[in-house]
Amino acid sequence: MRNQRQRSQLLLLKDVQQLGRSGDIVHVKPGYAWNYLIPTGRAVFPDKRTLRNQANLKEQREQQAKLDREESELIAKKLEEMSLEIFVKVDPDGHMYGSVKPQDIVHLLQENQQINLDRRNILTSTIKELGTYKISLSLKENVPAQFTLHVIKEV
């Protein structure tokens, strides 16, 4: 009961990762509300006017979520059939110089397949050795996807 008293009730104006979608009523700690959510315009304290406005926008958000899900499923299907190669420099012993980071994978997808993602969509961590890897992604609306990445020695 004490924990509930220390939480503020907010109406989300924008989607907040790991908290909720736009239009949701959430309970958060006051510091998170006052220091992050409210100043950045992601949430407000709910009143009748804001609740009414959000109710009107709810249908639009649901339609957008449906479109995002369909688009993500198409991208996931395209990625499942895909196999990409990335060439890296190696030393004489066969060890990679540096590593293949999620932002390198995002750049590769944008360059070769015109698929625009954020590095946070890549669930696979940094790759430090040559070989074949299954790269896992989380697309919009939490649609999972995977594709094969071959890390090959540059000649």
Average pLDDT, the chain: 89
Is the model's pLDDT at 2 over the cut of 70?
A: no
pLDDT category of residue 55 using cuts at 50, 70 and 90: confident
What ranges do the domains of the chain cover? 2-67, 74-153
| pTM, two decimal places | 0.68
**Looking up tokens 């503020």, which residue turns up?**
8
Length of the chain: 155
CA distance 114 to 80: 15
For residue 82 the two structure tokens come to: 């895909």
Averaged pLDDT for residues 15-29: 88
Sign of the four-CA dihedral 30, 34, 40, 42: positive
Contact 18, 12 (CB under 8 A): no
Name the class of domain 74-153. Answer: alpha beta
Name the class of domain 2-67. Answer: alpha beta
Q: What is the reported pLDDT for 1?
A: 46
